[in-house]
Amino acid sequence: MQLKITKIGFLYIFLTILLGISAINTGNNLLFVLVSFLLSFMLLSGWFAKLNLRWLQISFSFPEECYAQLPTLIKITLINHKKIIPSFLVKLEFQIKGSKDSSSYSTTFFLLEKNSEKILSILPLERGYNYLERVVIFSNFPFNFFVLKKYLKIKEKFLVFPKPMNCTDFSEEFIHPYRSEKPYLSGEGSGEFKEIKDYLPAVPKKYISWKHTARFEETIKIKSFSQEVINPVLINFEQFKVQDLEKKISCITYLILENLKKGIPTGLKINGKFFSPQVSHLHKFNMLKELALYERN
């Protein structure tokens, strides 16, 4: 807890002293009443201010997926455990710290009855683990005579993926088509026309080639289409020829994201680890995590 008296607060103290002197001097009991009121007011506002910041619980929730240099949203929940009394004008300040730089954010909860949530936009600066630090709640409640600060011992970390960066110039060279035993098929019969086949039950009517059926008369003929084959892709981190490490990581991140968006299975070879090409969400996370933490631990 730290207390800082504001200008108004000093003025208030000055006023109290002044009135106190005149009360003592004149012996006017109404002045004494005013002075004692001012004094008790001072005392109680301190106590109420302290109460205002007590029994508060704060929790942060970070997004699962966020990228460096791209704004993201975090959710801050402030819970008031006081039974009846609300908290007023609670201000919150915290720092998000990467490996080098840090940036601070602040937000205000105006009236906190039971609990309150704030969605705050933040900009994580660097990839890798970012730390939430220096969480301070403070308030100038009740009368802006002073500001009461409370430092909280909250430390949390969250993972920030590298910043995606489009580097179309190099992409083709370093992407290796990946051969596996099973080709990845994008779905049946959506490719090009292949051949005419005999009718099989449960084939939709639209595939029936009425022209051929008419020609062969006895059997119903259907059109068959080839399957579209998608080639999986493997990215080799070490062979990726970009000098600047950060840029390299950014480019690869972009490639992974773009490919997966198109449904192209993508794999990554990095740091002696091998992620075989897949399209799953978890797979994406694993690869991005590896990239985010590259040379950071």
Partner 1 sequence: MNLERAFKVLTQFLQGKEKAIELCILCLLAKGHLLIEDLPGIGKTTLALSLAKVLGLSFGRIQGTSDLLPSDITGTSIYNRSTGKFEFHKGPIFNHIVLIDEINRTPPKTQSALLEPMEEGQVTVDGQTYPLPEPFFVIATQNPIEYYGTYPLPEAQLDRFLLKISIGYPPREVEKEILKIGSLKEEIISLESILSEEEILNMQREVKNQIYVSEKILDYLLDLIEKTRKSAYLLAGLSTRGALSLLLAAKARAYFYKRDFVIPEDLKEIAPYSLPHRLIFKEEYKSLSKEIVREIIESTKVPI
Partner 2 sequence: MKEIKLKNLLLFFTYLISLICILLTFKAIDKFYFSIIIFLFFISLFFEKHQKFCPRLFINIMGIVFILIFLFTTNLSNLLENSLKTLTFLLSLKLLEDKKVRDYLEIYLLCFLILAGCSYFYTNIFFFLLLIGILFLLNTSLFLCLYILEDQNFIIPSKKLLKIFYINFIPFFSLFLSSIFFIFLPRLSSPLFNLNIEEREAKTGFSDQVTIGIFSKIQESNSIVLRVEMEKIDFEYLYWRGITLDYFDGKSWTKSKENTLNFHTLPHFFNNTKIKQTIYLNLPQENYLLTLDKPIIISGNFQYDKDSDLSIKILETKTYPVRYYVYSVISDIGEEKINKKNFLQLPQLRREVEELAKNLKGKSEEETVKNILKFFKESGFKYSLKNLPISTYPLEDFLLKYKYGNCEYFASAMAVLLRINGIPARLVAGYKGGEYNEWGKYYLVREKNAHTWVEVYLNGRWKRYDPTPSGIILTQPSFFKEKIIFVLDLINYYYHKFILDYNLQLQVKILKTFKDYFTKEDIKTISIQTFNKTLLLKIFLVLFFIVIIYLSYLNFKHKTFQFFLPLERKILIKFLKTLKKFGYHKKEEEGLEEFLEKIKDPFLREKSKKIIEILEIYLYKDQTMDIETYQRLKEFLKEIENFNYPYVKS
Residues that bind partner 2 (CB under 8 A): 8, 11, 15, 19-20, 22-37, 39-41, 43-45, 48, 85-86, 88-89, 108, 110-111, 113, 140-144
Task: Please report which residue ranges of 115-244 form alpha helices under DSSP H.
Answer: 168-174, 210-216
Spatial separation of the C-alpha atoms in residues 184 and 278, rounded to whole Å: 10
Does residue 263 belong to the site contacting partner 1 (CB under 8 A)? yes
Cβ contact 154:163 at 8 Å: no
Spatial separation of the C-alpha atoms in residues 37 and 157, rounded to whole Å: 48
Please identify, using beta-carbon distances, which residue of 29 and 297 lies nearer to partner 2: 29
- The CB-of-84 to partner 2 minimum distance in angstroms stands at 9
Please identify, using beta-carbon distances, which residue of 20 and 63 lies nearer to partner 1: 63
- How many helices and strands (H and E) does the chain possess? 6, 17
Q: Residue 217 is encoded by which pair of tokens?
A: 């008369």
- The CB-of-269 to partner 1 minimum distance in angstroms stands at 23
Query: Which one of the spans 100-108, 134-142, 154-162, 276-284 is the region binding partner 1 (CB under 8 A)?
Result: 276-284
Q: Which residues contact 34 (CB under 8 A, 6 or more apart)?
A: 19, 23
Q: Residue 108 is encoded by which pair of tokens?
A: 């205000």
Does residue 59 belong to the site contacting partner 1 (CB under 8 A)? no
Please identify, using beta-carbon distances, which residue of 261 and 289 lies nearer to partner 1: 261
**24 binds, options partner 2, partner 1, none, Cβ within 5 to 8 A by partner type:** partner 2
Site string for partner 1, 187-216 (x = CB under 8 A): xxxx----------xx-xxx----------
Spatial separation of the C-alpha atoms in residues 126 and 163, rounded to whole Å: 8
Cβ contact 149:1 at 8 Å: yes
Residues binding partner 1 (CB under 8 A): 63-64, 73, 75, 119, 186-190, 201-202, 204-206, 220, 260-263, 279-281
